[in-house]
C-alpha cells in the first residue's frame, strides 16, 4: 500500500467514523428505507460533475447488470441494515461491528476469487479482529443489546466484504466514479418503491436534515469516491481495512464532539487495530525489508 493509498484510507476512516453519529440522529425521524433513498439519491448527485468531467456515464449504461448487483449487495441492503440497527444500538457499537468487513472480504476473496493471503496479512486480520473484540466487549458487556440488530450489522459488514470482491471480479476496468454513481443510482431505484410507502408522518427536524445531508454528501458521496479508488488501487482485502479504522475514529469523534473519555480497553483495542492494518497493508514487511537493506549497506 502506497503512502497515497494509506492517506486515503485514513481520511475515509475519519469520514465513516462520523457517519454512524449522523445515522443515529437521522434514522429515527426519516425512517429506515426513506433515509437510504435520500442518502443514495443525494450521493448520486455528488457524482454528476465527476461523471461529466471523466466520461463515466456510458459505463453506467454498459455495465448496468453488475452495477445493479453491486447496488443491491454493497449499498441498498447494508445501508438499510445499518439504519435499522441504529434505532437500537449506539453509534460506537455500529462502528465497532462494521470493522468485521475486512475479514469477510478476505474470506470471500480467498474462496471465490482464489486470492492468496500472505502470512503477515493473516496475522494482521487476526490482530485487527482481536482489537475489535476488545472494544466490543468493553462497550457491550453488561448492556441490554439485542442480538437482532447486532446480527443486522454483521450481515451488513458481510455485504461490504462481498461487494468489494464483486467489484474486483466484474468491475475492475470500470471508472471508479461510474461504479460509485451506478451503485447509488441502482440502490435508489431498488428501494424507492418500498420507501415511498414508509415516508415519515411528520417533517424531519432541521437537526435530522443536517445529519442526513452530512451522511449523504460526506459519508456517502465523497467517501465512496475514496473507497472505490482504494478498491481499484490497493485491492478489496486492503480497501475494506478501513473498517478497522472506523471504530478508532468513532472513539476520537466521541472525545471531540461528545466529551467522551475513552477507556483503557478502547486504547488497547485501537492499538491492536492499528497493528492489524500495518501487518495487512504490508507496511510492516516493507519496514523490515528497508531495515535489512540499510543493515546490509552498513555492513558493506
Highest mean pLDDT among 69-78, 238-247, 285-294: 69-78
Model pLDDT, residue 236 = 72
| pLDDT value at 296 more than 80 | no
Q: 238 falls in which pLDDT band (50, 70, 90)?
A: confident
Model pLDDT, residue 278 = 76
Model pLDDT, residue 275 = 86
C-alpha cell at 268: 488497547
Model pLDDT, residue 290 = 64
Q: Name residues whose C-beta falls within 8 Å of residue 149's C-beta, 6 or more positions apart in sequence.
A: 84, 85, 87, 88, 89
| pLDDT value at 67 more than 80 | yes
Neighbour count for residue 68 (Cβ, 10 Å): 18
Grid-cell match 454498459, residue found: 62
| pLDDT value at 288 more than 60 | yes
Q: Name residues whose C-beta falls within 8 Å of residue 142's C-beta, 6 or more positions apart in sequence.
A: none
Residue, of 137 and 15, whose pLDDT is higher: 15
The tens digit of pLDDT for each residue in 209-232 reads 999 999 999 999 989 888 878 877
Distances (CA, A) of 42 to 159, 212, 213: 22, 10, 8
Residue, of 252 and 178, whose pLDDT is higher: 178
Highest mean pLDDT among 128-137, 195-204, 242-251: 195-204
Nearest to 241 by CA among 7, 54, 9: 9
H helices within the chain, ranges in order?
3-30, 32-54, 57-62, 64-70, 77-86, 91-98, 101-111, 119-140, 147-170, 176-195, 206-213, 223-234, 236-239, 242-258, 264-280, 283-299
- The region of weakest confidence among 7-11, 86-90, 274-278, 289-293 is 289-293
pTM higher than the cut 0.85: no
Q: 104 falls in which pLDDT band (50, 70, 90)?
A: confident
What whole-number distance in Å separates Cα of residue 137 and Cα of residue 122? 23
Residue, of 234 and 192, whose pLDDT is higher: 192
The tens digit of pLDDT for each residue in 11-54 reads 999 998 999 889 999 999 999 999 999 999 999 999 989 888 87
Mean pLDDT of the region 132-147:
74
Highest mean pLDDT among 14-28, 94-108, 118-132: 14-28
Model pLDDT, residue 244 = 76
Mean pLDDT score of the chain = 86
Model pLDDT, residue 141 = 75
Amino acid at each position: 500500500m502506497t503512502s497515497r493509498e494509506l492517506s486515503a484510507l485514513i481520511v475515509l476512516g475519519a469520514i465513516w467514523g462520523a457517519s454512524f453519529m449522523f445515522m443515529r440522529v437521522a434514522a429515527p425521524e426519516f425512517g429506515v428505507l426513506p433515509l437510504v433513498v435520500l442518502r443514495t439519491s443525494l450521493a448520486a448527485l455528488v457524482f454528476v460533475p465527476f461523471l461529466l468531467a471523466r466520461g463515466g456515464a456510458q459505463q453506467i449504461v454498459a455495465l448496468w447488470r453488475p452495477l445493479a448487483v453491486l447496488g443491491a449487495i454493497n449499498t441498498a441492503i447494508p445501508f438499510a441494515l445499518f439504519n435499522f440497527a441504529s434505532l437500537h444500538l449506539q453509534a460506537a457499537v455500529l462502528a465497532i461491528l462494521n470493522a468485521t468487513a475486512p475479514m469477510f472480504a478476505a474470506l470471500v476473496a480467498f474462496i471465490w476469487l482464489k486470492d492468496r493471503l500472505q502470512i503477515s496479512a493473516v496475522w494482521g486480520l487476526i490482530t485487527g479482529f482481536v482489537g475489535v473484540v476488545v472494544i466490543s466487549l468493553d462497550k457491550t458487556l453488561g448492556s441490554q443489546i439485542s442480538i437482532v440488530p447486532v446480527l443486522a450489522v454483521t450481515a451488513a459488514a458481510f455485504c461490504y466484504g462481498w461487494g468489494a470482491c464483486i467489484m474486483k471480479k466484474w468491475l475492475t476496468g470500470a471508472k471508479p466514479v461510474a461504479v460509485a454513481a451506478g451503485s447509488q443510482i441502482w440502490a435508489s431505484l431498488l428501494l424507492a418503491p418500498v420507501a415511498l410507502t414508509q415516508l415519515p408522518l411528520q417533517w424531519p427536524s432541521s437537526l435530522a436534515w443536517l445529519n442526513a445531508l452530512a451522511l449523504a454528501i460526506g459519508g456517502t458521496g465523497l467517501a465512496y469516491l475514496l473507497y472505490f479508488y482504494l478498491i481499484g488501487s490497493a485491492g478489496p482485502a486492503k480497501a475494506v481495512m478501513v473498517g478497522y479504522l472506523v471504530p478508532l475514529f468513532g472513539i476520537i469523534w466521541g472525545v471531540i464532539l461528545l466529551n467522551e473519555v475513552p477507556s483503557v480497553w478502547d486504547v488497547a483495542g485501537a492499538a491492536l487495530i492499528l497493528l492489524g492494518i500495518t501487518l495487512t497493508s504490508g507496511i510492516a514487511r516493507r519496514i523490515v525489508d528497508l531495515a535489512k537493506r540499510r543493515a546490509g549497506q552498513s555492513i558493506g
